[in-house]
Amino acid sequence: MTAKVHPNVAVPPSLGQPPAVAPAPAPADEEPVTLTVWRKSLLFNGRGFTVFDARGDLVYRVDSYASDSRAEVVLMDAAGCPVLTLRRCRNLIGLGLGSDQWLVYPGEETRRLQPLYAVKRAAQYMRGGAKSMAHVAACSGGAAAKTGAGGYEVEGSYLRRRCTVYDERRQAVAEVLPKETVGSDVFRLVVQPGMEVSLAMAVVLALDQMFGKPSLLRSWSS
């Protein structure tokens, strides 16, 4: 994926590094991280996401040109360095009609390394039979599974920008919330201590591919 880099943008030291796949328990006094997510790229005529922290500093970017039609999305830090890559799983045999699955890789390497996580759309949700929108599972053989990372469930409505990510203990670890009066293209992502912020953002990107209208990938390839 071709991406423009803005070297004059400072990278926040706490969020600009590649994510740890199994974070240690957070200190009791650590605060949640609140991000403002703008469904728009910094590139001229590009499509993607621009993400700011509570101070208004750029934290993450997703940039692409309209002609890019590959089934992958690269989450970058403020300086344009790849943090995580989401790639659509093409082997959907046996997953059922309407199934959609995205694999999350470290950095921009999707060929040699095992994926960290798989984000799969819940088939029953599409038929109105379940609260769960998507399942997030550590991939066997990947670095996340080797460190004992658990899975997550996503419930709610991405179209309404109201959904919650739960860990295996049913504790809410991340939330997507609307920002009043600014429309659905700008919303908040609140991440609790103990979940990697970059992973939470990767889940948002996967949800956008599965439930966004139009999805980021369809916008890119249009």
Say which CATH number the domain at 137 has.
2.40.160.200
Domain for residue 201, yes or no? yes
Cα–Cα distance for residue pair 134/207, rounded to 1 Å: 8
Number of structural domains in the chain: 1
Of the candidates 129, 127, 116, the one whose C-alpha atom is nearest the C-alpha of residue 86 is 116
Structure tokens at 107: 């950095």
Average pLDDT along the chain, 222 residues, taken 10 residues at a time: 36 42 52 95 80 97 65 92 90 53 89 89 67 90 69 94 95 94 89 95 94 59 35
Domain for residue 59, yes or no? yes
Q: How many CB atoms lie within 10 A of CB 168?
A: 10
Domain for residue 127, yes or no? yes
Domain for residue 109, yes or no? yes
Amino acid at 187: F
**Predicted pLDDT at 218:** 45
- The domain containing residue 103 runs over which residues? 33-211
Find out whether 73 and 205 touch, Cβ atoms under 8 Å: yes
Task: Tell me the HSE value of 26 on the side-chain side, using a 13 A CA sphere.
Answer: 15
- Find how far residue 176's CA is from the centre of its chain: 11
Domain for residue 42, yes or no? yes
Domain for residue 222, yes or no? no
Domain for residue 167, yes or no? yes
Domain for residue 216, yes or no? no
Cα–Cα distance for residue pair 195/211, rounded to 1 Å: 23
**Predicted pLDDT at 41:** 86
Torsion, CA 114, CA 117, CA 123, CA 124, rounded to 10? 150
